[in-house]
Amino acid sequence: MSEFAEDEVELQSLVKQFLRSISDKISSAPSPECAEEILLHLEETDKNFHNYEFVKYLRQYVENALGSVVEEETNNLTREDGQHAIGSGHDTLIHAVTQRTRYSAEYQQMIHTLKNTMITVVESLKNKSEEDQLRKEETHQEKQHRQSNIQFTDNCSDSGSSFKQLQILAEKLDSSKPKEVRWEALKVLCRAPTSDVLSCESWSSLRLNLCVALSEPDPDLSDNALRFFAKSLSSSPLNVTREIYTSLAKSVESSFLSHKLSFPSGSATIDVNRPEISRLLKQIRLMNDFQKEVTNFWIRHPEKYMEEVIENTFSLLSFHHEHGSPGTERVLEPVHLLALLDVKATWFKKWMHGYYSRAVILRLLERKYKSVVSGLLNNKDLSLVYSGKELEYCCFVHSLCVLGKLIIYTNGKKLFPIKIRKYKDPVTLTDLLINVVKCILIHLLSVGSDVLSPSTLVMEVLWMLCEQTECATECLYQTPVIEKLLTPVILKSPAATLSLIADILARIANTDRGLALFLFEKNLVAAHSERTFAAHIIVQFTQRLLDKELPSLCESDMPHSLCGAFILVCRQMYNTCEGLQVLRPYGLHKALAAAWKKTSSLSERVQTPVPGAGAGSSTQELQNMLIWEETLLDSLLNFGATPKGLLLLQQTGAINECVSYMFSRFTKKLQVSSCEKFGYGVMVTQVAATAPGVVALHSSGFIRALVLELWSVLECSSDDIRVVRPKPTPIDPTDRSCIKSFLYLVNLLSSSQSVWQLLGRQSLANKSEYTLREMPTSIPDLIDRLIAVNSDVKIHSLFRYEESHTFGLRLLNVLCCNLDSFLLLESQYNICSMLLQSQMRNNTFEINQTIIIDSLSVERNHVLVRVSVVGGPSERRLPPRDLQEVSFPLNCMELCDFDSTWKFDQLTLKNKGRLIYKRFALEDVCFIHFIYIHRYGIYLGLLKEEAANDLALLIKHVKIFLSTQRVETSSELSYPGHDWLASTVFLIMAGNMEKSLCLLVSLSSLLTSAFIWPARIHASVMAESGIPPVYWCTAHYVEMLLKAEVPLVHSAFKMSGFTPSQMCLHWLTQCFWNYLDWTEICHYICTCVVMGPDYQVYMCVAIFKHLQPDILQHTQSQELQIFLKVRWSQNYNIHAIFY
């Protein structure tokens, strides 16, 4: 439509002319829809339609664009068998031509171009119209301003004449002058420049006369005076507006003092349209607007300006008549009207937001205006709120918001206790909180969704207090307040009230101080005036709800939601170690499991909805059942947050369902609950430390999802991203994008029991061909693809061979730190032989006798040295992964024939191993283990060459001895690891088999053996659970003591997604081998045997405390697990570690 572009200006004029011609028809339309309808039918209703120039223009354009198309289609149709020319009539021909023309390309192009051009024209017309309107307004304002200036200056151009005129205006404003004179003077004054008015010599008399005019009953005078104040406040700097605000505040205060206003306290209503109240309401509205805006700029001015504004505000709010109104009348005070205008005290919240103003506010309240706080406290009685007293209720809401904001600050709390009218004793902070809580208990009818209902407002204040730890300690965590909160629980109050109480109790229990108050302070009054714990009341009430022993509550509309709310309170207690210690005797896990099983069976019996058969009730019933079932599963799952709680969860038989539920929430990245700010990372790690836990994780699909996610990050990437921005070569051995998945795998495989369950008796695929799209779905598949890369087929199947194989070797390095895990990997997959073969291929001996050193060969070398040498930090030296500066030339001994020496050693060890294997029929794991124990004993000078046979004989005798104590169980979670305590005792006895066996037999009768001898306890009835006591007992108490005595370390573990219990299980299962020197291992064994098993706990806590600086440092770099497992290279003396 090129011609449109050429004459667009002409088209605009045509459209404008067309709109003017039909403006009468359009303006008479009652709505835009009707106007649109008139335009659509304009051709039918307007006889001049075809005479409009715009319509002619459009007709000419359509003819030019489609004329040739219409002619061509007409000719084509008349030649086609005559079907449109003969017998069909002229109308049929027109219809056919129209249809073909509408679907032609020319028609579509015409419509598109016409639409775009008309949009441009209309937008241009709209913009021009708006510009014209703005220009008219500006011209009108300039004209008015010019006239006002002319009228004010009275043809005087000098400032002296202006000041003289202001003096004349001040005289005219005197109260003795007639109303008309004062009114005219006010109108002239409102048009005068504010700066001239405030700087003139007669300002003091002007201000007095303006304040008098403000209090005049005549609205003409008071409104004009108020207009001058509003203009001054909006267009003047703070040093001017503070004086205006002060004058306004004094005037309002004087009005309240001179007019003793009151309002009925009965059911009658107050009329705010009464002239005296309406006038004050307007003035306080202006003050409130200024209060909300002044915080934006008062920090740029001296503090005295801000202090004067605040002081005048408090002076007004502290106003009250000494003698109240008699009978049913109540005195109307400034705070009542301010509350009507700003119900939730937005002005005060803004003033308290910054320290700059908050310090002044609290200082003034403390020194001069405690009466303001006492006045607010007078409004805490809500007995009249529900009898229609909106004014009193607004005042209560305003007071509650101000007090709630005030007491969250330290200096605000120092204002208490406060002496107030009508009360004999001063009101303390605790008294205030008790009265606030009463609002929930008394006013049950207001519980609902209304944001201004008493319960909602009180809950907001209590939530705000709970979020401030220090404030909550001083305000909420007091025995009288907790007693008041628990009163509805003891009295079996209605369900709505109990739900609100449970919400606050859960928030309190989520903090350390609140939890300690619930668990350990036995000072709450229960039945029969006995003192008891808050936890006792809450748990017993929850159990009664679960058992449906409270008919009045069970028959309410929300029995499940109420029960779930109190379960959440209990959950905040039992998901901590100290809380579980207190709640365990109540057997809450059994009650929850029983309720879940019952609900699960009921939900299966609910009939499937059938269309047309009243499916609404059954569908709702099924939905409620499923929500309640998920609530119970979620509550049971949270027992898994602690080691001992995980044992209780396993005993309920619901661990598989709970872990499946956790996996469904974990994949959605949901938080544990509304109170916990962390996800499920810590809980997954806790569950994965045990055999039944990792089995449940595997069956839920969690491990498969984790492996697939890792492979997607490591080997796959979005093709679109790769085209736009190629993936950079990683600087770190493990790419930062893979760190999260790497740590998840480390947490998952930290325990040897987890490794056994996932890898035990599982062979590697070792396929002859791998497709490029084939992804691993299990841990054995992952090892096959990333660690055991022993063929060209596997190398070629990796897109990023070097990075992926490095990732696998780093993971293998962490796994091998656990000796039991390494022995399993070596016995099943020959890891060392595989790595050696790869190292052998990484050279060019056949060409120039050189060794290729790359990142993979360095990683393999590190792993080989780590698994080949046993000992503490000072007994072995692991090779670094980075380049080291050393002196040159290197001092080294003459190399021997490496191949022959290595083969001889290997042959000797294998021969000894085969001999032991044949002689005692031990497992392959034991065969490998003997080699390492024998090598370590020889290094320490404790064993001789022939001691290997005695070690094997000892292990066999110990197994026979322990088998006599074994109780037949249905558990298939057999003990996978080696007996490291027996090996340690064998070395302590310098290879004497008889003494070692005698000591072990004697040790088995002591309680200590249950904790330092994992193989012995596994042979007992405790083996049924698959969770060793060293985990659910020792590690549990370690976590509990860490939280109490080394809180920074406890928080670091929680932030990293790792758990102290996993590290304790790792250390204690292998008797600190490879983490402590031999001497310290002996000290550990002797200390636990002589002093008792609790010293096992103390030692672990002491080590964590000693490692605190390193733990905090490595938590920041997201490598806490790696540091504790791999990089622990410090020497420790047990006698030098203090706890």
Do 97 and 225 belong together in one domain?
no
Nearest to 4 by CA among 107, 109, 81, 118: 118
| Inside any domain, residue 899 | no
Provide the pairing of β-strand 524-525 with 531-532: antiparallel
Q: Which tokens belong to 67? A: 């004329």
- Give the SS3 label for residue 941: coil
Do 252 and 334 belong together in one domain?
yes
Do 226 and 250 belong together in one domain?
no
How far apart, in whole angstroms, are the C-alpha atoms of residue 281 and residue 1059?
Answer: 62
CA distances from 432 to 426, 471, 651 (A): 11, 14, 46
Q: Are 940 and 869 in contact (CB under 8 A)?
A: no
**One-letter amino acid of 687:** V
Residue 701: which region, alpha, beta or left (left: phi > 0; alpha: psi -120 to 50)?
left
Do 230 and 253 belong together in one domain?
no
* Domain with 281 in it: 237-427
CA distances from 564 to 458, 579, 634, 737 (A): 22, 18, 10, 39
Dmax (CA) for the chain in angstroms is 128
Do 997 and 1033 belong together in one domain?
no
**One-letter amino acid of 30:** P
Do 81 and 174 belong together in one domain?
no
How far apart, in whole angstroms, are the C-alpha atoms of residue 604 and residue 619?
Answer: 13
CA 374 distance to own-chain centroid: 38
Do 229 and 248 belong together in one domain?
no
Do 331 and 422 belong together in one domain?
yes
Q: Are 295 and 350 in contact (CB under 8 A)?
A: yes
| Inside any domain, residue 121 | yes
- Give the SS3 label for residue 64: helix
Do 75 and 176 belong together in one domain?
no
Q: How many residues are listed for the chain in this entry?
A: 1139
| Number of other residues whose CB lies within 10 A of the CB of residue 621 | 15
| Inside any domain, residue 270 | yes
How far apart, in whole angstroms, are the C-alpha atoms of residue 256 and residue 287?
Answer: 15
Q: Is residue 524 within a helix (H) or strand (E), and if so which, with residue range?
A: strand 524-525
| Inside any domain, residue 10 | yes
Query: CA torsion 112→115→118→124, rounded to 10°?
Result: -90
Provide the pairing of β-strand 531-532 with 262-264: unpaired
Nearest to 1069 by CA among 1114, 1045, 1100: 1100
| Inside any domain, residue 1020 | yes
Answer with the one of 991, 1009, 1024 that is the final residue of a domain: 1024
Q: For the chain, list residues with pLDDT below 50.
A: 1-5, 81, 83-88, 145, 148-160, 380-388, 444-449, 615, 718-725, 731, 893, 895-922
- Give the SS3 label for residue 330: strand
Do 712 and 815 belong together in one domain?
yes
Please state at what angle helix 429-442 crosses helix 495-509, rounded to 10 degrees: 140
- Give the pTM: 0.76
Do 82 and 173 belong together in one domain?
no
Rg (CA), the chain: 43
How far apart, in whole angstroms, are the C-alpha atoms of residue 135 and residue 1113?
Answer: 66
How far apart, in whole angstroms, are the C-alpha atoms of residue 88 and residue 53?
Answer: 37
| Inside any domain, residue 669 | no
| Inside any domain, residue 850 | yes
Answer with the one of 199, 220, 236 that is the final residue of a domain: 236
How far apart, in whole angstroms, are the C-alpha atoms of residue 667 and residue 640?
Answer: 18
Name beta bridge partners: 1037.
Answer: none
How far apart, in whole angstroms, are the C-alpha atoms of residue 767 and residue 775?
Answer: 13
Residue 907, pLDDT score: 44
Do 110 and 180 belong together in one domain?
no
**Any idea which residue has 């709630």 for tokens?**
404
Q: Tell me the per-residue pLDDT of 810-856, one tens digit each, with 9 for 90 and over.
A: 999 999 999 999 999 999 999 999 999 998 887 765 665 667 788 89
Q: C-alpha angle 602/604/609, rounded to 5°?
A: 105
Listing DSSP states for 643-664 in one string gives HHHHHHHHHHT-HHHHHHHHHH
Residue 404 phi/psi, 5-degree rounding, is -60, -40
Residue 512: which region, alpha, beta or left (left: phi > 0; alpha: psi -120 to 50)?
alpha
Residue 405 phi/psi, 5-degree rounding, is -70, -30
- Give the SS3 label for residue 1076: coil
Q: Tell me the per-residue pLDDT of 228-280, one tens digit each, with 9 for 90 and over.
A: 899 888 877 777 788 889 999 999 998 888 887 777 765 556 677 788 888 99
Residue 717, pLDDT score: 61
Answer with the one of 412, 427, 442 that is the final residue of a domain: 427
Nearest to 1006 by CA among 1105, 1089, 890: 1089
Number of domains in the chain: 6
Listing DSSP states for 766-809 in one string gives --S---TT----SHHHHIIIII---SHHHHHT-TTHHHHHHHHH
How far apart, in whole angstroms, are the C-alpha atoms of residue 293 and residue 927?
Answer: 82
- Give the SS3 label for residue 827: helix
| Inside any domain, residue 1132 | yes
Please report how many Cα atoms fall inside a 13 Å half-sphere around the Cα of residue 614, on the Cβ side. Answer: 1
